[in-house]
Chains A and B, each alone.
Chain A
Amino acid sequence: MHTKRLIIALAIFAFAACGDDDEKTNNANNSNNANNSNNANNANNSNNANNTNNVEPICPEVTAFSDDCAITVGPCTTSELTVERIQTALIVDASDGDVVCFTDGTYDVREELSLDVPNVELRGQSRDGTVLDFTEQTSGANGLNVTSDGFAITTMTVRNTTGDGIRVSGANGVTFDNVRVEWTSEADENNGAYGVYPVQCMNVLIQNSIVSGASDAGIYVGQSSNILVKDNEVFGNVAGIEIENSTGAEVTGNYAHDNTGGLLIFDLPDLPAGSGKNTKAHNNRIIENNLPNFAARGAFVKLVPPGTGVLILSGDANEIHNNEITGNISVGVVIVSHFTIGQEPDDPTFDPYPESNYVHDNTFEGNGTDPQAIAFVIAGAAGEPDILEPLLWDGTTDDAKDNSDGSLTNCFMNNVDGDGNAVPFRDFDYAGNFMNVSTDLGDNECEGATLPGITLP
């Protein structure tokens, strides 16, 4: 273990030979004995000798900032060396359970980094000071690509990846804590699709993090289970937070503002994980998500109208409660079936009907004041294109199912404005071509099933 720490620290001595395995072995051996200043001096001498031409790229020596750093890395003076240093740490040196520490500085990373060692934490020295900068990235579809269980990334920034920011696939145990993932070019279609991107994972924690600029979803959790998304800030993305085909998620304490849509809960056909359900979204602030939709056409989120607070697409048994939903100009909360996106789902196992969702005790203020895109069409169908009720449902029910006990009904209760008055609702009757629009909650004013919070192992 001690050897490992020092190999990285001593990469400074490798110079042009940083790529030379023999050199590393020697350095490692030196470092074993390196408890006396003699050896260090020798190393420095050779250092000076190499410095005569003054342009040698180097990896400055770094020291661990925490006792449990098994390996510590810092930025080098060239991207090539920086990448080599990080990948050596993550591929060659890291072993099960290690904390790999990144000292403050900007790391010029031009290719995808990958990690496949279980239970490794990547920890920066400070969130704003430790920056993995992918602005010049030329290779790889993600910034960081993780395929191992028990992964954690904490206290650092990942910036301007060419594709997705941090992708974790197929892992049991994923933690993002105090991480910033950002694209600094605002509302740019060329920004990467997903910022924080666990897919087909279980036991996922995403907290205290900031994600901005994603051309699809800032925080995207797909085909996963047992998920806690807590106390994050997401802005400037097409979708702030998206939970897709996932089962058992708690989304709480987040601040989603200035995205195209604040929170999306999607169930899509043709995915291996099948349908998801049971997202509990509560005590979030969903504020002024009015950003023009800058997603690429063909992406599902391209269909999201600017000004969307919360959108449930085809999902079942989700609970949306005690959120503050303010200033989203198209709609506050909308529940729609898969039919509304104009495609006939071809997957026989897929249920396009959103059912058993429960929206209650949310506070609405100033939503639906200027409906955009499809929301404008929906508003116009009732003759008032300039304003839309903050609570919307497309009214599509599956006649083939028995709902005599009402358990499939989407329920809306105690949704109020700042003065405590019930907020307007509209069933816009998509299936009936907007012919039987109703603003009366009727049977949909009901008490639905509540969900427990998520606990992680």
Chain B
Amino acid sequence: MRRRNAARHYVAVVACLFALGCGSSEDANNNANNTNNVNNVNNSNNVNNANNSNNVNNVNNSNNVNNVEPLCDVAFAPDGEPFDTLAEYCFFGGHMAEHIPNAGVVPYDVIATLYADDSKKLRYLVLPEGEQIGYTDTEKWSFPLGTVIIKTFYVDHDERDPALGRRIMETRLLVNESDGWQPYIYVWNEEQTEAKLRQIGQWIDLEWVGMEGQTRTLEYRVPNKNQCKNCHGQDDFFEPLGPNTRQMNRTYAYDGEDKNQLEHLAELGLFDQEIPDTSTLFTLSDPLGNDDVERRARSYLDANCAHCHNGSGAAGPTGLQLSVFIDEPREYGICRRPVAAGSGSGDLLFDIKPGHSDESIIVFRMASTDPELKMPELPTQTADLFGVDLISAWIDSMDPSECEGL
């Protein structure tokens, strides 16, 4: 049973900063409509006609755009019927690739990010009008039906100067529908004018310039819909991972003004209750920051591993639990022997052997790119060398005598 339909829109007037770009998102809408027409057509002749009229429409539209400031309302797709293109949601004003959020689309960042082959991410939260998040300090937030969480993955053309532009690979939506969160993945074209729904995954050849001016290449993996479950699946449910108190309690530059994200969301009326003084809340440590190595390492593992390595996650069967809330050292790997790792043990005896990062399975697997061995078990292509160094430093700082006799 469908409880909602496409009619629920934000009524938000959006300043269109980039006239040309607005034209392109209009095009996408028209294309979608044309596709619908094509569906009603019964012979190939008509299909050709449809294509012709399509072209005509495009010309007309781009003319119109120059004269008229368009309305752009955030649109919600009916449950189970995602739009064919990202443009149809109208999350972003201006040129869609610029990602200028429309009214009701709230940007945010997390403290500890999940490594994704050095790609960068843009994150947004969209709640249906008038709805609120059920806030808790340490548990999972509860989101109203219709909530959309948006994550866009990109690389800068030149890491030394982000102003030179970027290549967006994909925008993932996690939509809270009546039968649970659903993932929808939109893959961007090379021209960066359009992103189309593609649930079966894709490989994209990337080339960009790294921090030292070197050429970097990557066969970037857009996951398929089922692979989303690898991280977001908890028991039989999908769940958002980033938007929670411990990840969100940080500042974000809203229109150039630094503000605490939780306080910002509270001011927008998006929480169902008053939130505590944010300085008192349990918060992850930025792995790239200056906190002590254990805090940073545990935060890193929480962000990069605990979505699987918890009792309900895909790595639940291993028993290794890497959430920052686990207090028992054996459970998070200290002197813990692998149970079902097979060759994933790398001839090593302990998940974490204190004082010996080079004899710890966790480091061995984080550093591996062999699909059978690598951790996380995601279709990423490269190891997170920063993460390897951080976890190694943590392990090497431990008392080497801890596992003696085990």
Contacts and interface: CB of A to CB of B under 8 A. Distances in A.
A207 B351 CA distance: 35
Contact of A268 (B225, B226, B339, B374): B339
A272 B320 CA distance: 10
A29 interface: yes
B291 interface: no
Given A92-B199, A111-B379, A343 B406 contact: yes
Given A114-B227, A271-B317, A29 B347 contact: no
Contacts, number: 136
A269 B339 CA distance: 8
B213 interface: no
Interface residues of B, number: 56
A457 to B, nearest CB: 19
B371 A298 contact: no
Most chain-B CB neighbours within 10 Å: which of A92, A190, A194, A222? A92
A272 B199 contact: no
Interface string A420-431: 000000000000
A84 interface: yes
Contacts of A193: 342-344, 372
Interface residues of A, number: 60
Given A91-B224, A139-B379, A169-B317, A298 B202 contact: no
B236 interface: yes
Contacts of A29: 38-39, 41, 47
Contact of B225 (A91, A194, A298): A91
A39 interface: yes
B372 A141 contact: yes
B44 A87 contact: no
A359 to B, nearest CB: 26
Contact of B226 (A145, A163, A189): A145
Interface string A337-364: 0000001101000000000000000000
Contacts of A215: 342-343
A42 interface: yes
Interface string A1-38: 00000000000000000010110011001100100000
B339 A147 contact: no
Contact of A298 (B38, B229, B349, B377): B349
B45 to A, nearest CB: 10
A167 B406 CA distance: 31
Interface in B209-226: 221, 224-226
Given A116-B226, A139-B221, A147-B229, A169 B343 contact: no
A341 to B, nearest CB: 10
Interface in B343-371: 343-349, 361, 370-371
A252 B21 CA distance: 67
A87 B201 contact: yes
A296 B379 contact: no
B71 to A, nearest CB: 27
Contacts of B19: none
A222 B372 contact: no
Given A29-B38, A145-B226, A87 B343 contact: no
B294 to A, nearest CB: 22
Contacts of B41: 29
Contacts of B197: 21
B226 A147 contact: yes
Contacts of B35: 22, 25
A139 B224 CA distance: 12
Contact of B236 (A111, A170, A199): A170
Contact of B341 (A137, A145, A270, A299): A299
B148 interface: no
Contacts of A140: 371, 379
Nearest to A117: B226
Nearest to A343: B337
Nearest to A25: B35
Contacts of B268: none
Nearest to A20: B196
A421 B209 CA distance: 77
Given A271-B319, A346-B330, A26 B345 contact: no
B316 A87 contact: no
B314 interface: yes
A25 B374 CA distance: 37
A88 interface: yes
Contacts of B349: 298
B319 A272 contact: yes
A298 B361 contact: yes
Given A271-B317, A343-B406, A25 B38 contact: yes
B7 interface: no
Given A29-B39, A169-B317, A299 B200 contact: no
B228 to A, nearest CB: 10
A300 interface: yes
Contacts of B374: 141
A59 interface: no
B43 interface: yes
Interface in B58-106: 84
A411 B63 CA distance: 89
Interface string B291-316: 00000000000000000000100101
16 contacts: A33-B42, A87-B224, A88-B200, A91-B200, A111-B201, A141-B372, A145-B226, A147-B226, A163-B372, A170-B236, A200-B316, A270-B319, A271-B319, A272-B316, A298-B341, A298-B347
**8 shortest A-B CB distances, which residue pairs?**
A298-B345, A193-B342, A296-B343, A163-B372, A114-B226, A87-B200, A297-B347, A270-B319
